[in-house]
Amino acid sequence: MINMDWVGEYVDLDGVDLNDLATKITNAGVNVEAVLNKRIDNLVIGLIKEVKNHPDSDHLHVCQVDIGDETLQIVCGASNVREGLKVIVAKVGAILPGDFVIKESTIRGVTSKGMICALFELGLEEKNDLTYSKGICELDDDAQVGMDYNIYAGLNDALYNLDLNPNRAIDCTNHIGFAYEVAAVLNKKVTLPDADYHEIDDSINNHFKLEIGTDKCKYYTAKMATDVVIKESPAFIKRRLESAGMRSINNVVDISNYVMLEYGQPLHFFDKDKVKDKILVRMAKDNEKIITLDSKERTLNKDDIVITDGTKPICIAGVMGGENTEVDENTKTILIESAIFEPYNIRYTSINLDLRSEASVRYERGLNYEYTLKALNRACYLLEKYADAKILKDTVIYDEIEKKDKVATITKEKICKVLGTTITDADIKDAFDRLGFNYEYKDDNYIVTIPNRRLDVAIKEDLIEEVGRLYGYEKIEAKLPVLTDKKGSYSPFIKYYKDISRHLRGLGLNEVRTYTLVSPKEANMFRYDDGELVKLDKPMSLDKSICRRSLIPSLIKVADYNKARDIQDIMIYEISTTYYDTDQEDLKLGILMQGKYVNTTWMNKNINVDFYVIKGILENLLNYLGLNNRYTFSVTDNIPSDMHPYRSAEIIVNGTKLGYFGRVNPKVSKDDNYVLELNLTKLYEIKTGNIKYKELSKYPSSNLDLAFVTKKDTPSKDIMDVIKKACGKLLTNISLFDLYEGENVSEDEKSLAFKLTLSDMDHTLQNDEITNLMNKVIKEVETKTNSKLRK
């Protein structure tokens, strides 16, 4: 949150419409999400002239409150209400947060024309036991009776709520950094705040020594201030901190935060009397402990940077100070630290300790070394002015930081080429001037020195962006690239599975998409593939902790969800990746079918899903893929135990095991679910030929019906295979048209009736040919399959 009243101290905003400015800044790339203020109409500063007890209440008071142009009678229940107090009065008509409208009212028979307010009632403080017990807000004596409280408290200040990209979160989270952006947009100059202060004769060097024992701290500066008076902050500091979402604590602590919100440089104040005569910055030891400002004990390790007094830690560098050197109401002398630490370590520490502070996020993003000393001096200035501090002379500085100018070279031609538009030298110079980037123009080259406050800008492409955004992307005209003609296409595998997907939809199956991450229980269901489960290192919940190996558990969930919504016929499929062994990703097809595959409603000829329906779908698909006659289904040990042991089969194509199908074991799902899982990655590897026209016989074909009685457990396929072999190429089609068990067939037997279609390419088959063939078929089937012709 940026306070524009505050920004106005660094760049002239007189007469600038702040809503317009917000739009301009947004268009230039820093997104102002909202322009807000905390204004509440009809708030005025009043003086309580008289307090009397309410005649009809033991805790209410009847007050006469002078608000300048009139005196209001207000009934107030606060315990701290007293004569002579300056207070905030919400007049009739004021609307307080929560749409609470102030009206003239009668409270137990006494008229009340307004309300004396507590800060939490104005939304300026959180409502809690502490703020509630404070009662109404007591204003300073210098508050002017009759003055608009909004002006007094800065509630009119426009606040910009920024939605920052990570690159600009470095500079635009601070008021001076944002002032430079405003200046670039408005073409104005930035003035840095005052930092001149007096120094007393005593030198900081008489009081302590600095030692840096790690290369993770390249820049460390310090000043000392004595005779500090701890008190409340001046109103402007309080309200600015509050507008930025920080709580006012006391003048000294507030100043460190105030300067951080100005420059982005976090400061740390130590109570010098609690520190001895040494500061040693070093890496922590494993298991070293410190109690931080929030009274919690923290355990450190060797990757955390600590500030010590030579022996024990007194601060976790860049993250949080220690309780043992905290500034409190008795503090007289303070040591001011302004330093730069390695961002990587600060990030590590704050993640490791789960401790994020306004300071730590700034250290993580990186700091501008040019502001380190400026912020230190600014703090001294404010301490002198608002905490009566005396500043000791000299500054302790450890400085190993690399201070190389960032220089990038760019040409007008390159800028025009990348933006795809014509930009003049004047446009480019204007952009650099506005940004405050110094440049030299030599041989068509702009040699640009990038100020350190813009840590996000380093290379020539960054300069193109800076010029482009200030020039205005809306001015770039769309122009299609001129490219060589080329046809676009799906990669062959994507084309393959999209084709399968479309084919399945044609067969009446609906596509679904489910989550990759599943629970350990689901991950171990329908186990078909070998290989280790792929588990997340730090899952958000156990429910979503493992990458699935099978799609079937997810499909059963979808079926259950729909079943619960009274959908009876569920025909779904999903084509998704499954995972095992971290380097093995296979695309699988999962199908689930339940209910009626064909629902003929009033016609009463429904087809219910069963093993043979899903088998039909599978055969249709495999035939479509050109795998006719190259697949078999068998009952094997590989079929997951979550499947029905006697109504499931493994799918084997070209000798490769690719999946399984059948009924889900009732112990897993009580619904009559039929499922299929097929490995498409492996299926794709099986090569198939192209379509070739097959000459058809010109002569009429003959049909032959044969029925055999055989043992119940004889697979029909065995008989069919024998028939096929016996007929050879004369057989153009064979189908099983009847399965019979019951009367006239003994109990352990069944009858299978086949229809054979026979034809020859050269002639019409004659009766004797057919009879001979028939006899051959009967003989072969009877001898090879232990079956008898059914007469």
Partner 1 sequence: MKDKIKSLQEQLQDKIKEVKTLKQLNDLKTEYLGKKGCVTALTANMKDLTLEEKKEIGSLINKFKEDVTVLLEELQSKIEEEELNKKLENEKIDITLPGLEIKSGSPHILEKMIEEVEELMISMGYDVESGPEVEKDLYNFELLNLPKGHPARDAQDTFYITDELLLRSQTSPVQIRTMLANKEKTPIRIICPGKTYRRDDDDATHSHQFTQIEGLLVDKDISLANLKATFEIIAKKLFGENVKARFRSSFYPFTEPSVELDISCFNCGGKGCNICKETGWITVGGAGIVHPNVLNNCGYDSEKWTGFAFGFGAERLAMLKYGIKDVRTFYLNDLRNCDTFNRRENI
Mapping DSSP to helix (H, G, I), strand (E, B) and coil, where does residue 710 land? strand
Q: Which long-range contacts (CB under 8 A, 24 or more apart) does 456-461 make?
A: 456/167, 456/168, 456/170, 456/171, 457/406, 457/408, 458/406, 458/408, 459/408, 460/408, 460/409, 460/410, 460/414, 461/418
Distance linking the first and last C-alpha atoms of the chain: 94
User: For 434, which DSSP code?
Assistant: H
Scanning 65-73, 145-153, 154-162, 487-495 for contacts with partner 1 by CB under 8 A, the matching segment is 487-495
* Binding mask of the shown chain, residues 590 to 609, with x at each position contacting partner 1 by CB under 8 A: --------xxxxxx------
What is the smallest separation between the CB atom of 466 and partner 1, expressed in angstroms? 9
User: For 322, which DSSP code?
Assistant: B
- Binders of partner 1 in range 20-59 (CB under 8 A): 26-31
* Binding mask of the shown chain, residues 631 to 660, with x at each position contacting partner 1 by CB under 8 A: ------------------------------
What is the 3 state secondary structure string of 197-258?
CCEEEEEHHHCCEEEECCCCEEEEEEEEEECCCCCCCCHHHHHHHHHCCCCCCCHHHHHHHH
**Alpha-carbon gap, residue 509 to 616, rounded angstroms:** 13
Q: Which is nearer to partner 1, 399 or 581 (CB)?
A: 581
Query: φ, ψ for residue 563 (rounded to 5)?
Result: -55, -40
Q: Does 413 bind partner 1 (CB under 8 A)?
A: no
- Binders of partner 1 in range 414-433 (CB under 8 A): 417-421
Q: Are 565 and 526 in contact (CB under 8 A)?
A: no
Q: Does 492 bind partner 1 (CB under 8 A)?
A: no
Total residues contacting partner 1 by CB under 8 A comes to 93
Q: Which is nearer to partner 1, 203 or 584 (CB)?
A: 584
Nearest by Cα to 119 from 136, 106, 98: 136
Q: Are 98 and 92 in contact (CB under 8 A)?
A: no
Q: Are 765 and 700 in contact (CB under 8 A)?
A: no
Q: Which is nearer to partner 1, 360 or 710 (CB)?
A: 360
**Alpha-carbon gap, residue 754 to 24, rounded angstroms:** 82
Which of 486, 667, 729, 791 contacts partner 1 by CB under 8 A? 486
Q: Which is nearer to partner 1, 471 or 526 (CB)?
A: 471
Q: Which is nearer to partner 1, 70 or 585 (CB)?
A: 585
Q: Does 520 bind partner 1 (CB under 8 A)?
A: no
Nearest by Cα to 175 from 336, 18, 5, 362: 5
Which of 128, 311, 489, 690 contacts partner 1 by CB under 8 A? 489
Which of 507, 686, 774, 789 contacts partner 1 by CB under 8 A? 507
What is the smallest separation between the CB atom of 424 and partner 1, expressed in angstroms? 16
* Binding mask of the shown chain, residues 69 to 98, with x at each position contacting partner 1 by CB under 8 A: ------------------------------
CA atoms in the 13 A half-sphere facing the CB of 533: 19
> Tokens standing for 753?
């009736």
- Binders of partner 1 in range 445-484 (CB under 8 A): 456, 459, 461-462, 464-465, 468-469, 473-474, 476-481, 483-484
- DSSP-assigned letters across all residues of 138-197: ---TTPPTT-BHHHHTTTT--EEEEE--TTTTTTTTSHHHHHHHHHHHHT----PPP---
Q: Does 617 bind partner 1 (CB under 8 A)?
A: no
* Binding mask of the shown chain, residues 567 to 586, with x at each position contacting partner 1 by CB under 8 A: x--xxxx--xx-x--xx-x-
Q: Does 506 bind partner 1 (CB under 8 A)?
A: yes
**Alpha-carbon gap, residue 350 to 342, rounded angstroms:** 13
Nearest by Cα to 252 from 237, 273, 264, 274: 237
What is the smallest separation between the CB atom of 623 and partner 1, expressed in angstroms? 18
- Binders of partner 1 in range 349-368 (CB under 8 A): 364-365
H/E element holding 739? strand 731-740
Q: Does 487 bind partner 1 (CB under 8 A)?
A: yes
- Binders of partner 1 in range 521-560 (CB under 8 A): 534-540, 544, 547, 558
Which of 156, 161, 433, 515 contacts partner 1 by CB under 8 A? 515
Q: Which is nearer to partner 1, 104 or 163 (CB)?
A: 163
**Alpha-carbon gap, residue 459 to 476, rounded angstroms:** 22
Q: Does 517 bind partner 1 (CB under 8 A)?
A: yes
Q: Does 510 bind partner 1 (CB under 8 A)?
A: yes
What is the smallest separation between the CB atom of 26 and partner 1, expressed in angstroms? 7
Which of 38, 168, 216, 378 contacts partner 1 by CB under 8 A? 168
What is the smallest separation between the CB atom of 585 and partner 1, expressed in angstroms? 5
- Binders of partner 1 in range 286-345 (CB under 8 A): 343-344
What is the smallest separation between the CB atom of 555 and partner 1, expressed in angstroms? 9
Report CA 518 to chain centroid distance, whole Å.
Answer: 20
